[in-house]
Structure 1
Amino acid sequence: MLGTRMSAFLKLSKRDLKYDFPASIVVFLVALPLCLGIAMASGAPLFAGILTGVIGGLVVASFSGSQLSVSGPAAGLTTIVYGAIQQLGAYETFLLAVVIAGIVQLVLGIIKAGMIGNFFPSSVILGMLTAIGITIILKQLPLAFGMTGAHAFELEDGGGIAAFKDTVFAAVNLGAAVICFLSLAILIYWPSIKGLNKLPAPLAVVIVGITLGFAFQGTPFALTIGETHFVAIPTVSSFEEFTGLFIFPDFTQIVNPDVWMVAVTIAVVASLETLLSIEAVDKLDPFKRVSPTNRELVAQGVGNMTSGLLGGIPLTSVIVRSSANANSGGRTRQSAILHGIWLLLAVLAIPFVINLIPLACLAAILLHTGYKLAKPALFKSMYGKGLDQFIPFIVTVIAIVATDLLKGVGIGILVSMFYIFRANIQNAFIFDFTKDPETDDQADSKVVITLAEEVTFLNKAAIQKQLYDLPKAVKSVTINGRNSKFIDKDVIEVIKDYEQNALSKGVEISLIDIAYKKQPQKNFKWSKKEVLES
């Protein structure tokens, strides 16, 4: 009975398995290096990246209502995770924040807050993603050149750039640099090569990196084996060793305010990234299915709670793996679930192969990911949308890179609000100036000012300036408030004062429905009598 209910809940389909199975292989091949690379960029254990990918496949996909979305560790959270681990001082304390973030997401889903993404300006969200891309690029440059330890570029908590410290050309490893730049070339050009592009570009990068890692031994390009140039996930030979890989949260830090601040930050950013990804994935769906956003928040909450309890890093719905799923012919959530199974089998069965992957390969994948988030075409596109979109966007980018993500987003929202207020002020009324139709004489000109639907104190200055700047030749002024649902008392006072001033100068003035109107109540019910009368 339980198995039947679970099967019905997951809605597994044998009919779609022939599409989902090959798609799951492609998603697995794309996800494996990304899970490792994102964990590395986040300053977390590499096993945590694989574990998070497994949870994204097995747990999140089981609860999600999206058929094509794939969840796992997200590049967009790397700066937050890196800064949070440094700030909290212990990985176990950070895991507690991940658990709490999952609970927050679960509550958001239950209270139906799936529309939360609509309350953030798109220019700020794009600026946030662009800044994350720039930070990822700067953070991976040392590994791209084989510089580790003291030769790495220092990063402030949250992702801002402090300085390039102790970086000397002698520290560059030529082998790592060759592998990285060759990997970048593969990532860029491989998808356009017919025949070869059936093999995912990230997998080709891994194969080439492992091959060159062996070929360079004994040459000036050699990578140092057993130190910091290769992936190093633990190999297990027993169930006890496998269970020993899991790290558990430190619940004694539950009263630590920093833990709660990190948790809320992760919950908000992860939810936003998930909702944006879900919207994009639905557009890729050939069947045009619409994913339930509230249910997705619940699924992400359960996933992050599980990840934090077992030692993983935060996860979201991720567009790169999701688009690979859609483009590979995936039909249902089975492909995402199966990709989680393949990740688990890989870490159990072939960890020795994974440990042959040079870190320069992962750096190349993340550099490519960062570039896609912050490509120059995006800056051009935002500039073309006007300064009211471009300035909040560029301010958000600069603020996040210079400080941290939370402060940067806050600054971006404040700048965006300035443009919203300015637009509200400028749209306070419609001004219509007409001359005498027969003589075209300005002495007989008339002015009609039609007020907007909502006229607040913010519009006071604009209306006052317009009224007192009217040409002296104007002999008739009409101010129409019939379409207004609300007119602020301050605005009415300005209009009444102008009326007295105009009458004293012999100007004919007409006020239509200019009176204080209360803000309309949002929650009301029509009576049966009112419905019939309307």
Structure 2
Amino acid sequence: MFKYLKNDLPASIVVFFVALPLCLGIALASGAPLFSGLIAGIVGGIVVGALSGSSVGVSGPAAGLAAIVLVAIDQLGFKVFLSAVVIGGVIQILFGVARLGIIGYYFPSSVIRGMLTGIGIIIILKQIPHFLGDDDDPEGDFAFFQVDGENTFSEILNAIGDPSLGPTIIGLISLALLILWSNVLSKKGKFFELVQGPLVVVVVGIIYYVFTQGTDYGITEAHLVSLSEDRNTEGLLTNFVTPDWSQAFTAPVLITAFTIALVASLETLLCVEATDKLDPAKRVTPTNRELLAQGAGNIVSGFIGGLPITQVIVRSSANIQSGGKTKASAIIHGFLLIASVAAIPFLLQKIPLSVLAAVLFIVGYKLAKPSTFKAMYDGGWTQFVPFMVTVVGIVMLDLLKGLALGLVVGIVIVLYKSYKNSHFLHKENDDPTDGKVKMTLAEEVTFFNKGAILKELDGLPENSFLELDVRKTRYLDPDIIEILEDFAFKAKQRNINIKLVSERGIVENPPSYIEFFRFRPKKETA
């Protein structure tokens, strides 16, 4: 695991700087104590990182669960909610034992790419106010419509209309440094490969804050990272909360637990699929083991006062983009969270939020590159439409609704293509007056193909000749057989001769398709 420590250590530092504000922000967006977000990040890095079979995936509190957690805490109270998190972890382990990890493979690649792109766009949009020094909304709040009546774009317009000078200046400096580091300096030598740009801009941001205090270009505490609501960090690592089990087996708690388990598992499996696509080594994560690891992580997190955990694409993509090779990166980032909270909380609270926004701009851009849109467009409308529906749904609604919309559109397209591709129809020769038509049925023909086949049969001209080839067909739905039976009657009236070609031979104008296919021998497979 430590074979590639020279790659994993710098990547873990980048992931740490990405994870810290998101852990705090998601806790705020969830209506939970801020420290619960840090606990979830630590457990996601160390516990899940150690148990997971993913080499580059990073787990922690997820923005996609924020709305569910917010409602649950409001209804149950935080301590009772923690019992639901623990029970949800147990349910996830049962999912893994039942080998339900295969669910994630049934999502089209266009929807997965749409998820990555949508999250990248959200990251950029949500960080613009922080970049300009407007830090009223919690970090990690990825919902388009917010509880204060504003929405993503109105918040951006508000920030543009009243920017803060100090945060904007250091944000622009940080963004320029990151671009320079990535595109120019990283190619100049080993030092620039080892020392990552995000670490550099964080140090520059702290220095800027210290030296500009009291000036017109300074940054106030409101624009800095905050580890607690009152900025008091004494005894921070001892503020653990344990679950209240008094209502553990009541309907509201069990429903909440199952919802957390189901949504967290689905998000994890989708992120696993997306992360495996981003992994340069193209390693495949064992999904059932991932569910077991996530379940164990949620049990631990719930027991000590943390939020529910999933594998998170933002941190995972940051890990990959920063050169992470093994799970050591995720584990080390968990220990860095502990060390930072325990040893240097005063220093962390001097990091300008606009610097972290600049870091996340780069992460978001790499997820939502213009080249991705072009590639999906070049792939045809069957790829581009579900991709765009997923992107727009995630940006305008939320992660789960966007995924659901993309999946529905993907399913509709599959059904449409099945409708179109149930058979192949072509003329025997180039003479349009010849009247010979050959129809070859596909390997599996279901009731979804009724409309397409019926349309083609009804479109045959009178006095024509139809050759129906079913030699490749392994399954023929009874509904299709009934269509053929009805067409045989119509064919006699329209003087259409039918030649049925099957494994049993050739039959001219069979008297009964139902009887023919009922006794048709199945082809043996090797």
Smaller-chain TM-score bracket: 0.7 to 0.9
Do residues 145 (structure 1) and 121 (structure 2) align? Answer: no
The aligned runs of 1:252-271 (5 Å cut-off) are 254=248, 255-256=251-252, 257-258=255-256, 260-271=258-269
Identity %: 35
* TM-score relative to the length of structure 1: 0.80
- Answer whether contact 1:475 1:508 (CA < 8 A) is retained: yes
The aligned runs of 1:182-261 (5 Å cut-off) are 182-192=173-183, 193=185, 194-195=188-189, 196-225=192-221, 227-233=222-228, 241-251=235-245, 254=248, 255-256=251-252, 257-258=255-256, 260-261=258-259
Listed one character per residue, the Cα deviations across residues 212-254 of structure 1 (whole Å, up to 9, x for unaligned) are 11222222121113x44333356666xxx24532234454564
Listed one character per residue, the Cα deviations across residues 110-154 of structure 1 (whole Å, up to 9, x for unaligned) are 122232221112222222332223233332222111113389999
Do residues 494 (structure 1) and 483 (structure 2) align? Answer: yes
How far is 1:299 from its partner? Answer: 1.6
Partner SS, residue 219 of structure 1: coil
Partner of residue 119 from structure 2, selected from 132, 137, 140: 132
Aligned to 2:505: none
Q: Counterparts of 1:403 and 1:335 in 2: how far apart (Å)? A: 32
The aligned runs of 1:23-172 (5 Å cut-off) are 23-44=7-28, 47-66=35-54, 68-73=55-60, 77-81=62-66, 84-85=69-70, 88-89=73-74, 92=79, 95-149=82-136, 155-156=144-145, 161=151, 164=154, 167=158, 171-172=162-163
How far is 1:35 from its partner? Answer: 1.6
Aligned to 1:179: 170
Partner of residue 370 from structure 2, selected from 354, 371, 376: 376
Do residues 466 (structure 1) and 474 (structure 2) align? Answer: no
Q: Counterparts of 1:100 and 1:367 in 2: how far apart (Å)? A: 36
How far is 1:36 from its partner? Answer: 1.3
Classify 1:350/1:292 alpha carbon distance in 2 versus 1 (closer, same or farther; 3 Å): same
Q: Counterparts of 2:127 and 2:246 in 1: how far apart (Å)? A: 34
- Answer whether contact 1:157 1:404 (CA < 8 A) is retained: no
The aligned runs of 1:124-523 (5 Å cut-off) are 124-149=111-136, 155-156=144-145, 161=151, 164=154, 167=158, 171-192=162-183, 193=185, 194-195=188-189, 196-225=192-221, 227-233=222-228, 241-251=235-245, 254=248, 255-256=251-252, 257-258=255-256, 260-278=258-276, 280-281=278-279, 283-284=280-281, 291-313=285-307, 314-316=309-311, 318-320=315-317, 322-323=319-320, 327=323, 333-334=327-328, 336-435=330-429, 442-472=432-462, 475-513=464-502, 514-515=513-514
Q: Counterparts of 1:443 and 1:320 in 2: how far apart (Å)? A: 60
Partner SS, residue 509 of structure 1: strand
- Answer whether contact 1:477 1:507 (CA < 8 A) is retained: yes
- Answer whether contact 1:98 1:266 (CA < 8 A) is retained: no
Q: Counterparts of 2:408 and 2:207 in 1: how far apart (Å)? A: 51
Listed one character per residue, the Cα deviations across residues 363-396 of structure 1 (whole Å, up to 9, x for unaligned) are 2222332332223222222111111111111112
Classify 1:155/1:434 alpha carbon distance in 2 versus 1 (closer, same or farther; 3 Å): closer
* TM-score relative to the length of structure 2: 0.81
Q: Counterparts of 1:131 and 1:489 in 2: how far apart (Å)? A: 42
Residue identity opposite 2:316 in structure 1: I
Listed one character per residue, the Cα deviations across residues 93-125 of structure 1 (whole Å, up to 9, x for unaligned) are 654554344333322221222322211122222
Q: Counterparts of 2:122 and 2:419 in 1: how far apart (Å)? A: 37
Q: Counterparts of 2:237 and 2:205 in 1: how far apart (Å)? A: 30
Once superposed, what is the RMSD of the aligned Cα atoms? 3.6
Classify 1:58/1:404 alpha carbon distance in 2 versus 1 (closer, same or farther; 3 Å): closer
Partner SS, residue 296 of structure 1: helix
How far is 1:441 from its partner? Answer: 5.2
Aligned to 1:12: none
Partner SS, residue 115 of structure 1: helix
Q: Counterparts of 2:130 and 2:267 in 1: how far apart (Å)? A: 27
Aligned to 2:508: none
Q: Counterparts of 1:462 and 1:365 in 2: how far apart (Å)? A: 52
Q: 5+ residue gaps in structure 2?
A: 503-512
How far is 1:425 from its partner? Answer: 0.8
* Residues paired across the two proteins, number: 490
How far is 1:489 from its partner? Answer: 2.9
How far is 1:173 from its partner? Answer: 1.0
Partner SS, residue 284 of structure 1: coil
Partner SS, residue 487 of structure 2: helix
Higher mean C-alpha displacement, 189-198 vs 207-216:
189-198
Aligned to 2:507: none
Residue identity opposite 2:133 in structure 1: G
- Answer whether contact 1:80 1:405 (CA < 8 A) is retained: no
Higher mean C-alpha displacement, 409-418 vs 420-429:
409-418
Classify 1:122/1:88 alpha carbon distance in 2 versus 1 (closer, same or farther; 3 Å): farther
Q: Counterparts of 1:130 and 1:263 in 2: how far apart (Å)? A: 25
